[in-house]
Chains A and B, each alone.
Chain A
Amino acid sequence: MARIKPKHQRLVLIAIALAVLIAAGLLAAWGLRNQASYFYVPSDIVAKPPESDRAVRLGGMVEKGSMKTEADGITIGFVVGDGKARVPVRFRGIVPSLFVEGSGVVAEGKLAENGTFIADNLLAKHDENYVPRELQDMSEHQKQQVVAETAEAASQ
């Protein structure tokens, strides 16, 4: 390396840098295809279930009367529906403050072999200004329902 001309050195450096950056770009593309977590509504899950080891997000309404706390006092089960299909969900942990039956929720986790969605994390509405981005694309009717029911639950 010691004897090459400055011009060549510059070319070599540019070539190395470009090669590494292109490699990083390809890796990123590959990683994004494999690791990005897709958003499902219950009817998607029923129609075309994701592979069981793949992290996905499930969004929909928590059905009224479906929420049950198990004996350990920590694990809860509930059903998320979108009017067409229903998916049972299990979650172990502390639920977000505004997580109530009849309101919208986004669950992050994986679909187990038996068709139950095992959630690692629940995202609910924080307040009237913040709605998980997936829930923003629900139909106007669904949205009004969410708002009405959340307000109702909050006033109780």
Chain B
Amino acid sequence: MIAEFGLAALWLAAALAALQLFSGVLALARPGEGLGTVVRPVAVVQGALALVAFAALIVLFTRTDLSVKLVAMSSHSAKPFIYKLAGTWGNHEGSMLLWVTVMGLAGSFVALFEKRLPEKTMLATLAGQAFVSLGFYAFLLISSNPFERLPIPAAQGKGLNPLLQDVGLAFHPPTLYIGYVGLSVAFSFAIGALVTREVGPAFARAMRPWVLGAWIFLTVGIAAGSYWAYYELGWGGWWFWDPVENASLMPWLAATALLHSASVLAARNALRAWTVMLGVVAFSMSMVGTFLVRSGILTSVHAFAVDPERGTFILALLAINIGGALALFGVRAATVSEGKRFALVSREGALVFNNVMLTAVLGIVLFGTLYPLVAETMGAQVSVGPPYFNPMTALFVVPMLLVLMIGPLLRWKQDNLSRIGMRLAVPLLAIAGAAGAVIASGGVGLLPWLGILLAAGLAVASVMPLRERNLKRTPLAVWGMVAAHFGVAVSLFGMASESAFSVEKLVAVRAGDSAEVGPWKVNLKAVLPVAGPNWTALEADMSAQYEDAAPLEVRPQSRSFWSPPQQTTESALVTRWNGQLYVVIGEEADDGRWQLRLWWKPFVTLIWYGAILIAFGGLLALIGRVASDIRRLVARDKIAYRRERQGR
């Protein structure tokens, strides 16, 4: 029953999306007939119904209802509860249902809480949101029905990929999806504003909190995904430029650019068309990412050609949504009047620079991700990795970070560098100090070297905007900016330190033997078999000693899951304030020695702490913006109330 109930809710939600679209369009075409009043409530109910459908699927998974095809294909009754729950979105159909649920809920929240947009723009926005949703509802219902029953219930499920059976990963997809799909609001706002030609500071202020919210989730989601790949794959790396990773990075780059251009539009009424364009691009990148991950095209163009239904469907949705939005942009952009002027050296100028560089990085990543697909259709098999991505992105990221040191100190409209010259002395000193330290340590590659210098300068420069400010009166949004920019420095330092100072050791040792890696002394005591709920493993009982500190216990495993049958390496990590020891156990050689792979990675954790700081900065800004909006609304209501009373 629950499956049928969920399916009914999904159909109903799709029907309401259609109603939302048509009533929105009709209300715009024939204002004054009261049609517009239904749009908001319909949007709210549509989101709620999608949530009901998703909840139904969660119930099916937690009960392991094997009469449902999806559950039988990707779950197993012997799985721990949390992975049964996470299994709901650990497969194609479930994750697409999560997609439309987030999309529907985003529309609901906009309908409930967005009070500042002019009513017409609001109608166009919700109609746009419904249009995009409708496509994805159709995709789910026609080609990816998550509630499909099996003619005969399965005796047992096939299980979830063991790599995905991890607490960190259980909540990674929902976080990422909220970010990914939350950007649909920016897309719909852009459509709404293009339809009604109301692009101005008010539009930017209305859009900003929504973009910030999605961006925070996206930031946390990317960081969590990176940490998961780092410890679960056992390869010691934290970013592989894998197409799936790039698929999440590209919307983030576009959304970051959008946040910065929206602040120019909000404060100075400039960059109008550009901001709208970025709103379209950001969510388009989310859709491109969904296509790459969900169509199977990444495994092989040929695999895609064998079972093209899903891929073609998403591709058609992409073409309709992105093509339609760009066409609308092309028609309307010229009629969006020019924004205010500004000088090259000004806050606006710096933000434009940030935007152009971010867009260039986005282009580099997009080309690199799509190139193997294009090459494959022409008969060549290639893969694109760090040798391409690292230097190419650095070419644009380095100048961007240099300008980031100055940008927040500049005044709006017009400024000159000599005014802030003295203040630049402090970050320059930090850079010089870091340069001295790096040269003293010697043997560091060019990119890590640059990274450490930039991180030192940026760490100091990022807090400079707080100087000469009354800290108690500094708006939360400014604190947020400072925290986020400082986070960039922290994360950058972690990345540079990891690639410059990591020590790796590959050894084969017998039980009782020791190995040294950096400041650590690692001792293998024994290798013993252990068992978990749905796996067995060989576990190394080891102790690790940092210089003269007390030895710590370390237990890396080589796990064998039986449903589906698969082996995973479970690395063991020892975290200190100044870095991580990373231990992986390999195979037993014929002579009884065990292979060990050891890394000492100084300050590697700063990569993710920095990312958390960036997201925290976003959160501060979001709270600050929303609080001031509420204050403004309350004040407006009070004034209106007083006027009304005086009028009597």
A contacts, CB < 8 Å to B: 1-2, 4-7, 9-10, 13, 16-17, 20-21, 23-25, 27-29, 31-32, 35-39, 55, 57, 69, 72-74, 92-95, 97-98, 121, 126-129, 133-134, 136-137, 154
Q: Are B364 and A28 in contact (CB under 8 A)?
A: yes
- The answer to whether A36 and B566 have CB atoms under 8 Å apart is no
Would A73 and B591 be within 8 Å (CB), given that A21-B360, A28-B367, A97-B567 are in contact? yes
* Known pairs A36-B371, A55-B387, A93-B506; A4 contacts B586 (CB<8 A): no
* Contact of A29 with B300 at beta-carbon distance under 8 Å, contacts A6-B341, A94-B586, A127-B564 already known: no
Interface residue? B2 (CB, 8 A):
no
Pair B384/A73 contact, Cβ less than 8 Å: no
B340 to chain A, nearest CB (A): 7
Complex formed: what's the CA distance from A134 to B593 in Å?
33
**In the complex the two chains form, what is the Cα distance from A28 to B381 in whole Å?**
18
Which of B303, B383, B506, B565 is close to A36, meaning CB atoms less than 8 Å apart? Answer: B383
Contact A36 to B375, CB < 8 A, known contacts A24-B363, A27-B395, A31-B391: yes
Residues of chain B with a CB closer than 8 A to A21's CB: 356, 359-360, 363
Tell me how far the C-beta of B209 lies from the nearest C-beta in chain A, rounded to whole angstroms.
27
Chain A residues in 8 Å Cβ range of B165: none
B391: chain A residues within 8 A (beta carbon): 31
**A16 closest partner in B (C-beta):** B356
Q: Which residues of A contact B589 (CB under 8 A)?
A: 69, 73
| CB nearest neighbor in A for B510 | A73
List the 6 closest pairs (A to B, CB-CB), nearest first: A73-B508, A94-B586, A97-B567, A39-B381, A24-B360, A35-B388
- Interchain CB contact under 8 A, B392 and A31: yes
Cβ of B43 to closest chain A Cβ, rounded Å: 35
A28–B597 touching, CB < 8 Å: no
> Could you tell me which residues of chain B, from 377 to 424, have a CB within 8 Å of some CB in chain A?
380-385, 387-388, 391-392, 395-396, 414
Complex CA–CA separation, A32 to B364 (angstroms) = 10
The residues of A that contact B163 with a CB separation of less than 8 Å are: 126
Q: Which residues of A contact B341 (CB under 8 A)?
A: 2, 4-6, 9
How far does the alpha carbon of A121 sit from the alpha carbon of B506 in the complex, in Å?
14
Evaluate contact between B300 and A74: CB separation under 8 angstroms: no
Please give me the residue from chain B that is nearest to A69 by CB atom.
B589
| 19 sampled A-B residue pairs with Cβ under 8 A | A9-B341, A16-B356, A24-B361, A24-B364, A28-B367, A31-B364, A35-B388, A36-B382, A37-B387, A73-B589, A73-B591, A74-B506, A94-B597, A97-B558, A98-B567, A121-B235, A128-B564, A129-B161, A154-B565
B371 touches A73 (CB 8 A): no
Interface size class for chain B? 35 or more
Residues of B with C-beta under 8 A to A29: 367
With a cutoff of 8 Å between Cβ atoms, the chain B residues found around residue A69 in the complex are 589-590
Across the interface, which residues of A come within 8 angstroms of B392, CB to CB?
A: 27-28, 31
Residues from chain A with Cβ under 8 Å of B586 in the complex: 93-95
Tell me if B494 is interfacial: C-beta within 8 Å of chain A: no
Complex interface residues of chain B between 547 and 592 (CB less than 8 A to chain A): 558, 564-569, 584, 586-587, 589-591
**A97 CA / B590 CA spacing, docked (Å):** 16
The reply on B143 being an interface residue by CB < 8 A is: no
For residue B202, which residues in chain A have a CB less than 8 angstroms away from its CB? Answer: none
Q: Which residues of A contact B568 (CB under 8 A)?
A: 97
List, in ascending order, chain B residues with CB within 8 A of A57's CB. 381, 383
CB <8 Å contact, B385 and A6: no
Supposing A6-B339, A32-B368, A127-B564 touch, asked if A73 and B593 sit within 8 A by C-beta, the answer is: yes
A95 lies within 8 A of B587 (CB):
yes
A137-B360 in contact given A94-B597, A126-B566 (Cβ < 8 Å): no
Cα separation A1 to B299 with both chains bound (whole Å): 51
The residues of B that contact A127 with a CB separation of less than 8 Å are 161, 564-566
- Cα(A36)–Cα(B369), bound, Å: 11
What chain B residues lie within 8 Å of A32 (beta carbons)? 367-368, 371, 384, 388
Query: Which of A1, A5, A20, A55 is the one whose CB lies under 8 Å from B360?
Result: A20
- The 8 A CB mask of B161-182 against A (1 = contact, 0 = none) is 1010000000000000000000
Cβ contact within 8 Å between A74 and B383: no
Q: A137 near B506 (CB under 8 angstroms)?
A: no
* Nearest chain B CB to A150 CB, angstrom units: 11
Interface status of B115 (Cβ within 8 A of chain A): no
Q: Which of A2, A7, A35 contacts B343 (CB under 8 A)?
A: A2
A52 to B163, CA, bound (A): 35
Please, how many angstroms separate the alpha-carbon atoms of A133 and B383 in the complex? Answer: 10
**Considering the complex, which residues of chain B in the window 282-340 have a beta carbon less than 8 Å from any beta carbon of chain A?**
298-300, 302-303, 338-340
Given A31-B391, A94-B595, A137-B302, 6 more A-B residue pairs with CB atoms under 8 Å apart are A17-B352, A28-B368, A93-B506, A94-B586, A121-B235, A126-B163
Partner of A7, one of B338, B388, B396, B507: B338
Chain A residues near B414: list those with CB within 8 A: 2
When distances are taken between beta carbons in the complex, the residues of chain A under 8 Å from B381 are: 38-39, 57, 133-134, 137
